[in-house]
Structure 1
């Protein structure tokens, strides 16, 4: 083969190779994923993205799939966040008002915007009328515990009824409202008492046993662990540890999706 022929064939092959290489580059740049391959930045094509389309895991710092977002990012972008089911619980306090600990409890509840239920001992109201007024003003539910904290089932029916009526009247004298709910001391109640007094008995689902534990951490842990949706929690506002635990319980259960309501709100279905 002559030299000129060899040169001609070489030039033809070179031109063909260049055409093929140019075509390959055009195909790469013309893919559906319009990306600047040098900067890794998306180019605006005017197309509206569809959630979940083309999602891949990024490799080596650049994602050339055209998504450029993780599934979580797209979910957040379209507001598809997990809903936390609403749960309700009622926090209740017996044996007050206490001249030392009820006030800080009321103030802390007010700061948190939480309403609870207080079952008052009639003889404890004397000298603490301002605390009872604050309970009513802040929207807490006030119920009767007893006049002198006796096991009503061990008393004559007439005497037991007087215990409740006397405490009830003391509360009305301070608040102007006659209580409808009663928490019988020790949870002891019977059909005769229910017939004798026109009040709704309220018991509990979760006993904090704060009167026995007298330990903020232990009381908090017990209540948070035991509480379920719709539960009534029993506490007492006569111990510093109980007040401290109450605030921790509120913060912990609120973070778990609980809403605190008064007993009447919880019992009305």
Structure 2
């Protein structure tokens, strides 16, 4: 169980995840342990993160890595995503993995990479792994057990902090960190700290994918604390003043009565 999030940015891509893994007997969870390797960077260019079975995640990462080595990414975003999805489905079903009628595969992933010198973020959905390329209109995504908490929160972040447009990498780092922490605080199990983030951006004229160290997350956390502080200040002071100064609305006419005139 996990929560993973991603954002297509005006100057790159940010992908994030929590650090909790669940060990279980089939679909019955038994214990939860910290996992710091949910996000993988391949060749300093490709970011891969997944939700679901760890074994399937390892196999999916191998398929993405082989696709990168065999220059499948050079064929363009759509063909690359379709090829990875087809190989993953074939690989999974060859060992007896099946797509249940109700839940599908119950495994999904995101891949970020520079394709034709453009940062591309592709979601492989948890039902049948069909790839979806993120665009300016739909520039963020959340998946996993914490999706029900992260998804609406990301919609709020996109509207309020990002003006419903592609954010910068810096703004996305703050927003995704905030969304993951929100899911960690309120999800009823299966999602846990610490937050992990990876970015794809230009460095010295070349696209480079890197995992952010814990120290690099201190600044986003400071921004989050300041935003929450200002919201709290407005709620306690701004709304109180507005309520005190605004005249009460006139009572609504009662049904069956007539106004004097």
Higher gyration radius (CA): 1
TM-score range, shorter chain: under 0.3
Q: Relative to total residues, which structure has the larger helix share, 1 or 2?
A: 1
Q: TM-score, normalised by structure 2?
A: 0.26
TM-score between both structures, scaled by the size of structure 1: 0.25
* Higher relative contact order (Cα pairs below 8 Å, separated by 6+ residues): 2
Q: Whose strand proportion is higher, 1 or 2?
A: 2
